[in-house]
A and B are shown apart, each in its own frame.
Chain A
Amino acid sequence: MDVTDTEAERGFRAEARAWLTANVPTDPLPSGDTAEGFRAHLDWERRLFDAGWAVVSWPAAYGGRDASLWEWLIFEEEYYRAGAPQRVTQNGIFLLAPTLFEFGTREQQDTLLPRMAAGQDLWCQGWSEPGAGSDLAAIGSRAVRDEAAGGWRLTGQKTWTTRGAFCTHLFGLFRTDPAAGRHRGLTYFLLDLDSPGVTVRGFDRFDGDEGFAEVFLTDVFVPDSGVLGGVNEGWSVAMATTGSERGLTLRSPGRFLSAADRLVALGREHGGRLTDVVRDRIAGEWMKAQAYQNFTLAQVTDIVEKRSPGARSSLNKVFWSELDISLHETALELLGPAGQWEGPWSRGFQFSLAGPIYAGTNEIQRNIIAERVLGLPRR
Chain B
Amino acid sequence: MRFAPTTEQLDLRDVVRALWEDRCPPAVIRAAATDPADPSILALYRDFAELGAAGLLIDERAGGLGLDENYLVPVLIEVGRAGVPLPITETIAVAAGIAGAVGLDADLAAGNLRVACDLQVSVPAARAHSADVLLAGGWGGRGEITVLYLAGAQLEAVEAMDPAADLCRIQGAAVLHRVADPVLVEQAWNRGVLGAAAELVGLSRRMLDLTVAYVAERRQFGVPIGSFQAVKHQLASALIAVEFAAPTVARAGAALAAGDEDAGIHACTAKALASDAARQVARAAIQCHGAIAYTTEYDLHLFAKRAWFLAAAWGSAAWHRDRIAGALGLPSSGRGPTQ
Q: Contacts A5-B1, A70-B1; is A370 near B248 (CB within 8 Å)?
A: no
Cβ B325 vs Cβ A369 within 8 A? no
Complex alpha-carbon distance, A4 and B233, angstroms: 36
Q: Which of A254-272 contact B (CB under 8 A)?
A: 264, 267-268, 271
Q: Which residue of A lies closest to B327 (CB)?
A: A283
Q: Contacts A6-B1, A9-B1, A291-B244; is A284 near B321 (CB within 8 Å)?
A: yes
Query: Nearest-CB distance from B327 to chain A (Å)?
Result: 9
Cβ B239 vs Cβ A374 within 8 A? yes
Q: Which of A82-136 contact B (CB under 8 A)?
A: none
26 inter-chain pairs at a CB distance below 8 angstroms, sorted by A residue, are: A9-B1, A264-B330, A268-B331, A274-B330, A274-B331, A276-B336, A279-B325, A279-B331, A280-B322, A282-B330, A283-B322, A283-B328, A287-B272, A290-B251, A290-B269, A291-B244, A292-B244, A294-B247, A295-B243, A373-B236, A374-B235, A376-B215, A376-B231, A376-B232, A377-B216, A377-B227
The reply to whether the CB of A286 lies closer than 8 angstroms to some CB of chain B is yes
Cβ A318 vs Cβ B240 within 8 A? yes
Cβ B232 vs Cβ A371 within 8 A? yes
Complex alpha-carbon distance, A370 and B231, angstroms: 9
Complex alpha-carbon distance, A176 and B184, angstroms: 69
Q: Which of A19-27, A186-194, A297-305 contacts B (4 or more CB under 8 A)?
A: A297-305
Complex alpha-carbon distance, A363 and B235, angstroms: 12
Cβ B236 vs Cβ A370 within 8 A? yes
A302 contacts which chain B residues (CB < 8 A)?
Answer: 4
Complex alpha-carbon distance, A373 and B212, angstroms: 11
B254 contacts which chain A residues (CB < 8 A)?
Answer: 1-3
Complex alpha-carbon distance, A275 and B331, angstroms: 9
Query: Nearest-CB distance from A331 to chain B (Å)?
Result: 13
The reply to whether the CB of A367 lies closer than 8 angstroms to some CB of chain B is yes
B226 contacts which chain A residues (CB < 8 A)?
Answer: 370, 376-377
Complex alpha-carbon distance, A17 and B192, angstroms: 38
Q: Which residue of A lies closest to B257 (CB)?
A: A1
Q: Which residue of B lies closest to A68 (CB)?
A: B1
Bitwise interface map of A from 168 to 193 toward B, beta carbon under 8 Å scored 1, else 0? 00000000000000000000000000
- Majority secondary structure of chain A interface residues (helix, strand, loop or mixed): helix
Q: Contacts A282-B325, A379-B227; is A297 near B247 (CB within 8 Å)?
A: yes
A5 contacts which chain B residues (CB < 8 A)?
Answer: 1
Interface size, chain A (Cβ < 8 Å): 52
Interface centre among A302, A312, A373 (most CB of B within 10 A): A373
Bitwise interface map of A from 4 to 43 toward B, beta carbon under 8 Å scored 1, else 0? 1110010000000000000000000000000000000000
Q: Which of B55-77 contact A (CB under 8 A)?
A: 70
Residues of B within 8 A of A (CB): 1-5, 70, 208, 212, 215-216, 223-224, 226-227, 229, 231-233, 235-237, 239-240, 243-245, 247-248, 250-251, 253-254, 257, 266, 269, 272-273, 318, 321-322, 324-325, 328-333, 335-336
Cβ A298 vs Cβ B3 within 8 A? yes
Cβ B239 vs Cβ A315 within 8 A? yes
Cβ B244 vs Cβ A370 within 8 A? no
The reply to whether the CB of A288 lies closer than 8 angstroms to some CB of chain B is yes
Q: Contacts A283-B321, A301-B4, A375-B212; is A290 near B248 (CB within 8 Å)?
A: yes
Cβ A374 vs Cβ B247 within 8 A? no
B232 contacts which chain A residues (CB < 8 A)?
Answer: 366-367, 370-371, 374, 376
Cβ A279 vs Cβ B240 within 8 A? no
Interface centre among B3, B239, B336 (most CB of A within 10 A): B3
